[in-house]
């Protein structure tokens, strides 16, 4: 009886002495962007070249898919984002529709994406590259899926080939515990 009583205490002590056994403590599937990166300067342009104001995104969460150009995987990803949006159910109104951001997108590509996926906003991100051609700012990590908070700051990033169920789980958790948006 004494051994059964002491076993949990001894086990806890052994785990305390070996921190490599400690759980990671991570509950999100994406890569947390610390500190959150605001979209401060006008980085984005619309299909006709006019600047895009991110003020329209304020007050709602936003999914932003950043990619070089729209190949076959582009349509799959945008369709996946639309499905994630629909699966949020009652919280759909708190999230922007899927947004595609192309670093090298052309006007015909943008028009095709917007025609194939109504409600999707396709934008250029040429301003995200510095004068030396290196990426800078909130999209420095390159292509992937970015989550923007209602104050238009990048807070999460998912690498290309992201798990849609992980994104959905993270969004549900964000929307459940957030008083923003």
Query: Cα 159 to chain center, whole Å?
Result: 9
Q: pLDDT tens for residues 48-87?
A: 677 777 888 888 888 888 877 677 777 788 888 888 888 9
87-100 average pLDDT score: 82
Distance CA 175, CA 181 (A): 8
Distance CA 98, CA 50 (A): 20
pLDDT at 104 over 70: no
Distance CA 37, CA 141 (A): 12
18-38 average pLDDT score: 74
Peptide bond into 116 cis (omega under 30): no
Q: pTM here?
A: 0.75
């Amino acid at each position: 009886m004494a051994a059964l009583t002491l076993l949990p205490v001894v086990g806890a002590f052994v785990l305390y002495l070996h921190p490599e056994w400690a759980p990671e403590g991570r509950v999100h599937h994406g890569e947390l962007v610390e500190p959150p990166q605001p979209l401060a300067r006008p980085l984005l342009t619309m299909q006709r070249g006019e600047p895009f104001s991110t003020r329209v995104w304020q007050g709602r969460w936003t999914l932003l898919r950043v990619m070089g150009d729209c190949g076959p995987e582009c349509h799959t990803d945008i369709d996946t984002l639309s499905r994630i949006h629909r699966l949020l159910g009652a919280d759909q109104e708190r999230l922007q529709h899927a947004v595609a951001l192309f670093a090298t997108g052309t006007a015909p590509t943008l028009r095709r994406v917007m025609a194939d996926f109504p409600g999707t906003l396709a934008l250029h991100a040429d301003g995200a590259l510095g004068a030396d051609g290196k990426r800078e700012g909130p999209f420095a990590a390159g292509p992937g899926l970015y989550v923007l908070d209602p104050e238009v700051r990048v807070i999460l990033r998912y690498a290309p080939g992201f798990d849609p169920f992980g994104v959905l789980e993270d969004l549900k958790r964000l929307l459940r515990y957030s008083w923003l948006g």
